[in-house]
Structure 1
Amino acid sequence: MDSGGGPAAGRGSGGTGRRASGEWARHWRHAGLPGLDLLRARYVRHTFPRHSHDGFVLGAVSGGIEEVGLPEGTVRAGHGSVVMINPEVPHTARAGVDEGWTYSTLYTSAELVAGIAAETTTLRGTPGFTQTSVTDVHTARLIHEVHRAAEEGNALAADSVLRIIVARLLHAHGGSLPTRTPRTAGALRAARARDILQERLAEPPTLEELAAQLETSPFALLRAFKDAYGMPPHTWLTDLRVRRARRLLESGSMPAEVAAAVGFTDQPHLNRHFTKIVGVPPGAYRRERGPAAGAGRKNVQDPGARPRLA
């Protein structure tokens, strides 16, 4: 049974300058598991800035403490905890103790969760989770087991256990997510500002230009946008650029090309923001999803190896 702590310490911790801190990470996808990304990592100094995901986050902490910053406050998750974050919920993450935290995370698509909810629950509307963190040692162990099965190339086992996890969590902590329909003038302007930023991803307007286009003041737009999306426009735009960068890298584009396509100044600019938000550099992310990555990499099960940060 995978403890979730990653392969044994020692060799191959990566070439990103983090070896001394003991940090390591592997962010990857199994070809036989559509709608699922996997991250297994230990972070000590790394902090995730405010960002969100278009799908669900299901994480199991196996060591240390993770502090997750959410709109309603900070959650501290330790060994045996399961963290559940719904789509588009802005959050941060960092170590809650000096030794950092170790965890296994499943990034599941909204479509996958909706399908499981329709098959196994009576939830109406858009399904999601009503709790952010619970102590559930059994489910945490199952999350680690999905990683173990995927790394061994056993897509059947990984998919089966994944569905058991989602159904179990929906039954215990599921609910219908509120719909986000802009009603106030501020919310409508925020939605329009979001659309403009999406359209002008590589060459966005200044805040003053954006506010003028929407016939409001810069501060009023800042307040309305943060109320609607949990972060100011420039933070939201960086998050969107990283999401687009992920898709381009997954399609095989090179990091330098991706940086220019999504509006980053250069590749180091992409590297910095991508690594902060995703947890691994874009080069490592691309390698785990390219044609050579395969359906599983049994070499990472070598007891002397670690998932790499670069």
Structure 2
Amino acid sequence: MGSERNDRRSVSAWRPRVPGVVEVFHAHYTEYAYPMHVHDAWTLLIVDDGAVRYDLDRHEHGTPHDTDTVSLLPPHVPHNGSPATPDGFRKRVLYLDASRLGDDLIGPAVDGPDLRDPVLRRRVGQLHAALALPGEELEAESRLTLIGGRLHRHLRHRGGDAGAVRRDPVLARRLRELLDERVVPGIGLEEAAGLVSAHPAHLVRAFSAAYGIAPHQYLMSRRVDRARRLLLAGRGVADVAGATGFYDQAHLTRHFKRLVGVTPGRYRGSGRTGGR
């Protein structure tokens, strides 16, 4: 009974509007140990505090809390999990469907589920941050595509990053034109890739190599530019948010302050003052 009283659990789960992501799951367990079970999706796991020990295909593994390690557990393979430190563990998990990682990669994942890769670890954390914010679907989709490519390279034992990026200025310009045409409604990465007949990962890399900025950053920059003009014309912040493609006023404020250094309201007020 004492153990049950000391056991603390907190969880948060949701399904984002990002193709390929079945579920986002954040949890903090102090003593809870979950039994052997399987998922029909890939489990991409990072540990923020503490450490986890688990069995996968009858072999023991451990996921530490550090800035280097990502664990990838394949679908249909039984595994369990329990805290490996006195205070339990805090983890963030993405469940990914077969559109991101195919069944042909299950074997290599069983052989080596814990991937020591600080770049991958950082990117997974950035993806979680994007998934937690409304209106950031393009950023999340772009980050997930790059993560998927890196996971493929790990599982195929190539290692390292993408190497030299193959420049494709024509493809980059085509994506830029698409983004320019759809500043307000936006466009998903999969749709854009289909329209220009390119693989999503290559599309992101080609654009970033050509313009020094990721597609989602370019789109948000264009939206903020439009917002600046409308704010100086006297339109209200909430009205401008809707007119420029942001999810809501908070979404506009977050990106506007990041790019301009002040909130939209303060920027709008400075324009009126400067016109006197």
Give the alignment's TM-score, normalised by structure 1.
Answer: 0.44
Q: Which of these two proteins has the greater Rg computed from alpha carbons?
A: 2
Query: Which structure would you say has the larger RCO, counting Cα contacts within 8 Å and 6 or more residues apart?
Result: 1
